[in-house]
Amino acid sequence: MCPEVSLLKVNALSIHSEEMNLLSPLSFELTAGQLTGVIGASGSGKSLLAQALLGSVPRGFTLSGEVSLPQGKRVALSAQSASVLDPLRTVISQLMRRVSPGAGKRAAQLQISPKIAACYPHQLSGGMAKKALLAQATWQQTDFIVADEPCCGLDASSATELYRYLAKLASQERRGVLVISHNLKHLLTVADDILVLKEGLLVEKTTPEKILKGLCAPYTYALWQAIPGNWGRTDAAVA
Ligand SMILES: Nc1ncnc2c1ncn2[C@@H]1O[C@H](COP(=O)(O)OP(=O)(O)OP(=O)(O)O)[C@@H](O)[C@H]1O
């Protein structure tokens, strides 16, 4: 078994203006070879955190704090919206610009069909666009991948397949993978750690094991109770 190497350190990262805090100072570490989930209600700051990790903030806001990576390590973002794709290029021509050795194998795993490959962005369904966005991030062969809602819009079996693929990127390729998701049920299955955000604040960094035992913050527990099938349940230990 490979020893775990700390890959990415976040120290007091925040997004703010004179009037408001969008992301309050938060600190955590992400580890190579692990999949970390980010969960929280809509508007809790998940996408802002993803952008902040890559040094980007909304116009009029300031980024403070530090994101440090070992020298030579890089981060790729699989964005939430397909608007980041070049509207004038087919998916395959955009992917080939980032191609690297081994990309063919990953294309097969991600099942980028010839149909998706040949599409211009406006011709993609929501799920097809998600696969194209994730492929674009993984093909860059970076040491760290941030995937913002990679499975939103996918059918259940494609989503399960994609979560398994993300977990393999971490466990087999020893990459650090951060997955932002509304789907706590999937994250409980694949994540090593889970960051819980609420209104721009980091509630806690916890683990699926702790959540399933109910050993978590009340807000995290409420998210667990919101999973269809858990409504009204108070026995987290048998999720
Ligand atoms: N450009 C912006 N200017 C001002 N406020 C913004 C901007 N972008 C995001 N926000 C605010 O920051 C907060 C967090 O937004 P963010 O997109 O990170 O939420 P999220 O947790 O990813 O939500 P969702 O799950 O719905 O995608 C929201 O209240 C949002 O209104």
What CATH number does the domain containing 53 carry? Answer: 3.40.50.300
pLDDT at 42 over 60: yes
- Cβ–ligand 1 contact at 39 (below 6 Å): no
Determine, yes or no, domain membership for 75.
Answer: yes
- Is 18 within a domain? yes
Q: Tell me if 233 is assigned to some domain.
A: no
Once rounded to an integer, what is the mean pLDDT over residues 48-74?
93
223 located within any domain: no
In a domain, 198, yes or no: yes
Domain containing residue 127: 6-206
Cα 235 to averaged position of ligand 1 atoms, centre (Å): 32
- Please tell me the distance between residue 156's alpha carbon and the centre of ligand 1 in angstroms: 26
Q: For ligand 1, say whether the CB of 56 is within 6 Å of any of its atoms.
A: no
75/97: higher pLDDT: 75
Indicate whether 213 belongs to any domain: no
The reply to whether ligand 1 has any atom less than 6 angstroms from the CB of 195 is: no
**Chain segment 141-177, per-residue pLDDT in tens:** 889 999 999 988 888 888 888 899 899 999 998 999 9
Report how far residue 117's alpha carbon sits from residue 238's, in angstroms, rounded to the nearest whole number. 42
Please indicate, yes or no, if residue 146 is contained in any of the structural domains.
yes
Instruction: Determine whether the shortest distance from the Cβ of 52 to ligand 1 is under 6 A.
Output: no
Q: How far is CA 70 from the centre of its chain?
A: 20
The answer to whether residue 179 is domain-embedded is yes
Domain count for the chain: 1
Task: Say how far apart CA 156 and CA 189 lie, in whole Å.
Answer: 14
ipTM attached to this prediction: 0.96
183 lines ligand 1 (CB under 6 A): no
pTM of the model: 0.88
- CA–CA separation, 97 vs 69, rounded Å? 25
